Chain A
Amino acid sequence: MADPMKIRAAMVGDKVEVKVLMAHEMETGQRKDAKGATIPAWFIQNVTATVNGRTVLSAEWGPAVAKNPFLSFRFSGAKAGDKVVIAWTDNHGDKRTDEATITA
Chain B
Amino acid sequence: MKMDRRRVLKGASGMAVMSLAMAAGLVRPGTARAEAWNKAAFEVKGNLNEAVKALGGSGATESKDIVMSSPDIAENGAVVPFTVTSKVPHTESIALLVEKNPNMLAADFTIPDGTEPWINTRIKMGQTSNVIALVKADGKYYYTSKEVKVTLGGCGG
Contacts and interface: CB of A to CB of B under 8 A. Distances in A.
Contacts of B31: 55
A70 B121 contact: yes
A32 B42 contact: no
B98 to A, nearest CB: 6
User: At the interface, is chain A mostly helix, strand, loop or mixed?
Assistant: strand
Contact of B120 (A56, A60, A73): A73
Interface in A31-57: 31-32, 45-46, 48, 54-57
B106 interface: yes
A39 B154 CA distance: 15
A73 B122 contact: no
Given A66-B122, A73-B116, A60 B111 contact: no
B157 A62 contact: no
Contacts, number: 115
A77 B154 CA distance: 38
Nearest to A36: B157
Contact of B115 (A26, A31, A57, A89): A57
B107 A62 contact: yes
Contact of B121 (A28, A58, A65): A65
Contact of B106 (A45, A56, A65, A72): A65
B100 to A, nearest CB: 11
A9 B91 CA distance: 23
A74 interface: yes
B15 interface: no
A66 B108 contact: no
6 contacts: A32-B157, A59-B110, A60-B41, A64-B107, A66-B121, A67-B78
